[in-house]
Amino acid sequence: MSPDERDRLVRLFRRRVYTVTGFVPFPHQADWQLASEGIRLLSRPPAPREPSVTVRLGDNRIVSWAVEPRLPAHVLADLAAYKAGKSRSVAMWASGFAAVAGSYGCFVGYEYRSSEHEFNYLLEALLSERGMNMRYDSLQNDPHGGRMRLRLPNGARVECKSWERKQALKGAEVDFYAFCEAYQLPDLSCYTTTAQNLRARRGFAVFTTTADRPWVGILHDYGHGHDPDWYCVCGSDGTVNPFTFDLVSLMRDAPSWELVPESVVPSARARGLEPGLLMTRERFSIAWLGRIGSFVGRVYNYQRGQRLLSRDSHPALWLPARSDLAGGVHVPVS
- Whether residue 202 sits in one domain with residue 109: yes
Element (H, E) at 249: helix 247-253
- Whether residue 190 sits in one domain with residue 281: no
The answer as to whether 313 is a domain residue is no
Sequence-distant (≥ 6) Cβ neighbours of residue 66 within 8 angstroms = 42, 44, 45, 46, 47, 50, 51, 52
Q: Which pLDDT score, from 0 to 100, does residue 294 have?
A: 44
- Whether residue 255 sits in one domain with residue 228: no
Element (H, E) at 283: helix 281-287
The answer as to whether 254 is a domain residue is yes
**What domain count does the chain have?**
2
Q: Please, what is the average pLDDT of the chain? A: 87
- Whether residue 274 sits in one domain with residue 174: no
- Whether residue 145 sits in one domain with residue 70: yes
Ranges of residues in the chain whose predicted pLDDT is under 50: 294-306, 323-326, 328-334
The answer as to whether 119 is a domain residue is yes
The answer as to whether 306 is a domain residue is no
Q: Which pLDDT score, from 0 to 100, does residue 313 have?
A: 67
- Whether residue 42 sits in one domain with residue 173: yes
Element (H, E) at 86: helix 86-94
DSSP code for 135: -
Distance (Å, whole) CA 124 – CA 226 = 37
Q: Give the global pTM.
A: 0.82
- Whether residue 53 sits in one domain with residue 196: yes
- Whether residue 261 sits in one domain with residue 150: no
Q: Which pLDDT score, from 0 to 100, does residue 320 have?
A: 65
Domain with 107 in it: what CATH number? 3.40.50.300
Distance (Å, whole) CA 198 – CA 293 = 30
Q: Which of 194, 211, 234 is the last residue of a domain?
A: 234
The answer as to whether 24 is a domain residue is yes
Alpha carbon of residue 224 to chain centroid? 13
Q: Which pLDDT score, from 0 to 100, does residue 300 have?
A: 41
Q: Which domain holds residue 146?
A: 3-234
**Residue 299 identity (one-letter amino acid):** V
Q: Which pLDDT score, from 0 to 100, does residue 322 have?
A: 54
- Whether residue 252 sits in one domain with residue 182: no
Q: Which pLDDT score, from 0 to 100, does residue 129 have?
A: 93
The answer as to whether 84 is a domain residue is yes
The answer as to whether 200 is a domain residue is yes
Distance (Å, whole) CA 317 – CA 331 = 15
